[in-house]
Structure 1
Amino acid sequence: MSLIHLLSLVLLYPTYATASGGFVAYGDFNCQEQKLDVWSDGVTVPDSTLRTDYSIKDWNSHAGGHYYENLTFSEAVKTNHTLDEAPIQVVWWKLEEVDRTCQYVIMKDSPRGWQVLNKLPGDEIVRASREGCYYSALRPGDNLITSFCCGQDDCAIVEIEKQHVTNPKDTTTGEAPKCSIVNSYSSTPTVEDGPQIGITRSQGCEAPPACSHSVSESQSFSTAVSHFQSYTWTSETGFEATFESGVDFLVDDRSHAGISYSIGQSFMDETGTTLTVGNITSSSEGSRQVPGTYAFYSFTPQYNCWKADVSCGKDKDGNEMILKDVNFCQPIISTSGDAAGTFRMVYVSDG
């Protein structure tokens, strides 16, 4: 069971600000004639509606969304296409009664569960800011997560097509301490999903044959240090060091002297790896878009991740600064140079 599901069961009587609107399942592209019965883990979903009653900001209680596990749909049309050699069904989602200052999202849960490098609880497959009928292709038994956000600042996290890797945050005053691994939890890495990256611009598709997407600009992703706790201390030499909670992507900058880079270097020494930067280019896989929709194409890279406790020197009182449960992640690159990961079409509002 994923962390998202566990968190969803913690509070039986939560109180949340709820954005009006939900996603109603239909079998026809107009979302008018064929309403589908929906089951989640064998229980009927009321009104065939996936509710948007938990927001992106509801991390402490529901990990950023409402989790629907093991979904099945009555009479959904099967397509000739397959995902990972499994038959897929077409489900159209009717969104109505929306607040135009908000965005409403359907995400697909990762088969690997918790995603240490993703600020969202899953991969977006639908993101809508207006009423409409939105396409999805699903396997029987898929897990979906619904969420919403309101306002430009809160919704920045869902604008994945504008995402770019940035330099690591460096809030250290003075020379960063040299860090070293003091407790490694496993010599074998786990496979984790990275952040979903939009690799084409949104476009419309008016009529058959279905429109195609090809990658026109290279998008990069790189080695990362993931951490969920912040630390601030004054070192023995008198300067303040800060290690902020989050994910730092270590771009190829050998002169960088921040703590995150020092931690990354300690993991590289421990695992025998080097700083890796992967690229998704025009030679990457392409995909077709369903007629009558707007969409962009995305890629979610996979990472090999190691977890360890890291020592970054001593504070002014002589206490060793141990940073707990730090994750170090390297992009998985095949021998052919291609990045491992998942391509998805993300269906969005027009315009």
Structure 2
Amino acid sequence: MISPSRLLPLFLLSPTLALTRGFVAYKEKGCNDPLDIWSDGVQIPNNTLLIDHSIREQGTYAGGRTYENMTFPAAHATGDMDQDAGVQFVYWKIEQPDPGCQYMMMKETPRGWQVLSQMPGDEMLRIAQEGCYYTALAPNDNVITSYCCGRDDCAVAEVEYEHKEAQDTTNGGDPPTCTVKKLYSSSPTVEDGEQIAVTRPQTCEAPPACTHSITQSRQISTAVSHFQSFSWTTEEGIDVSFEAGINFIEQSTIKTGLALNIAQSWMDETGTTLTQTNITAAQEAGRQEVGTVAFYSFTPQYDCWKGDVSCGKDNSGNEKVLENISFCQPRISTTGDPAGVFRMVYTSG
């Protein structure tokens, strides 16, 4: 699980701006009929979810402001299709963000802050322009509001692009062989991975053009995550560094490196093998609401083990132990497909 204290800070909006910006709830796509909204049985003032904490903010508000057990008593139900069961129409009026900034609304995942994601939840809405926007919400959902500003800070929210992975480097020879020194639990925990786009954004003008089909396969693979950077010189005089982040170990890009050696030590410990699986075109995406721009996303699930890994000795003869390393294998469903959750993400285009 990512500790909120490990997230990088982002400059904050001015206090006046933070207190006045928000997602204002309405019943219909014209945003003319206000919708009362409740959180934990308390009505939210002015039917407005505040946007006053950034995606990279440290402290109590880690990654945004959370509204728990949301209910929308007067919202209309979307229908009785499988993907719509229990879901209601909720529209949000949004003011123009500052230049270079985006507003985000996320749905908290069942497992909260997860080891393979820098986001506090799955995106449902990401907006760079004022307007009236749709989300599909069910009673008792937990909703997180947030914002980002600038290309680097907003990169973590651009789930339609592949994020840069953490890197390991070895200079002057082969990286050390590693072994699992301490296993915190023999049973893996189920973790949510990074939300990834599986279709391009498209405009929905009228049915039946409002469905998505997965046309580009996205790969999910064995991963090693570590939220502390390590560097040392081995007894053999080899300089090794291992940056904080997530390394996805894929057969198509496999090469000798410290991340691979660490992954191999975990595979030996857990009796697993290097695993990769694809989200394929056989998996049809869901319905998009008319008059919107959206893309379809998938959040994979992983089985993860956590522990400490010993990677030989440094040039002073001291054992080099890398602490709190997580090793994660993609979960596979009974159909043989990757386990996880599909979700439509609405945008301003």
Q: TM-score, normalised by structure 1?
A: 0.90
Contact map agreement 1:183 1:309 (CA 8 A) in 2: yes
Contact map agreement 2:79 2:85 (CA 8 A) in 1: no
Structure 2 partner of 1:172: 170
Please tell me the root mean square deviation across aligned C-alpha atoms, in Å. Answer: 2.3
Structure 2 partner of 1:79: 78
Q: Offset of 1:179 from its aligned partner?
A: 0.8
* Structure 1 residues 270 and 85: CA distance shift in structure 2, 3 A: farther
The residue correspondences of 1:312-327 to structure 2 (distance < 5 A) are 312-327=311-326
Q: Offset of 1:31 from its aligned partner?
A: 0.9
Contact map agreement 2:2 2:114 (CA 8 A) in 1: no
Structure 1 partner of 2:272: 273
Q: Offset of 1:253 from its aligned partner?
A: 5.3
Contact map agreement 1:204 1:292 (CA 8 A) in 2: yes
Structure 1 partner of 2:201: 202
Q: Secondary structure at the match of 1:77?
A: coil
What is the alpha-carbon distance in structure 2 between the residues aligned to residue 50 and residue 129 of structure 1?
A: 17
* Structure 1 residues 146 and 261: CA distance shift in structure 2, 3 A: same
Structure 1 partner of 2:24: 24
Q: Secondary structure at the match of 2:77?
A: strand
**Residue 94 in 1 paired to residue 90 in 2?**
no
What is the alpha-carbon distance in structure 2 between the residues aligned to residue 170 and residue 304 of structure 1?
A: 23
Structure 2 partner of 1:283: 282
Structure 1 partner of 2:327: 328
Report Cα offsets for 1:217-236 as digits up to 9, x if no partner: 11111110011111222221
Q: Offset of 1:285 from its aligned partner?
A: 2.7
* Structure 1 residues 188 and 95: CA distance shift in structure 2, 3 A: same
What is the alpha-carbon distance in structure 2 between the residues aligned to residue 260 and residue 62 of structure 1?
A: 32
Contact map agreement 1:29 1:135 (CA 8 A) in 2: yes
What is the alpha-carbon distance in structure 2 between the residues aligned to residue 70 and residue 265 of structure 1?
A: 42
Report Cα offsets for 1:250-279 as digits up to 9, x if no partner: 111586222111111001011111111111
Q: Offset of 1:142 from its aligned partner?
A: 0.6
Q: Please say which of residues 244-253 and 189-198 is displaced more in the overlay.
A: 244-253
What is the alpha-carbon distance in structure 1 between the residues aligned to residue 73 and residue 35 of structure 2?
A: 6
* Structure 1 residues 328 and 281: CA distance shift in structure 2, 3 A: same
What is the alpha-carbon distance in structure 1 between the residues aligned to residue 160 and residue 265 of structure 2?
A: 32
Q: Secondary structure at the match of 2:79?
A: strand
How many residues get paired?
339
What is the alpha-carbon distance in structure 1 between the residues aligned to residue 157 and residue 314 of structure 2?
A: 38
Structure 1 unmatched ranges of 5 or more: 8-14
Q: TM-score, normalised by structure 2?
A: 0.90
User: Could you tell me which amino acid in structure 1 is paired with residue 13 of structure 2?
Assistant: A
The residue correspondences of 1:140-219 to structure 2 (distance < 5 A) are 140-163=139-162, 169-173=167-171, 174-209=173-208, 211-219=210-218
Contact map agreement 2:54 2:63 (CA 8 A) in 1: yes
Q: Offset of 1:133 from its aligned partner?
A: 1.1
Contact map agreement 1:210 1:291 (CA 8 A) in 2: no
Structure 2 partner of 1:108: 107
Contact map agreement 2:168 2:243 (CA 8 A) in 1: no
Q: Offset of 1:85 from its aligned partner?
A: 8.8
* Structure 1 residues 271 and 26: CA distance shift in structure 2, 3 A: same
Q: Offset of 1:151 from its aligned partner?
A: 1.5
* Structure 1 residues 180 and 82: CA distance shift in structure 2, 3 A: farther
Q: Offset of 1:74 from its aligned partner?
A: 3.0
User: Could you tell me which amino acid in structure 1 is paired with residue 158 of structure 2?
Assistant: E
Contact map agreement 2:2 2:118 (CA 8 A) in 1: no
Contact map agreement 1:299 1:344 (CA 8 A) in 2: yes
What is the alpha-carbon distance in structure 1 between the residues aligned to residue 252 and residue 175 of structure 2?
A: 15
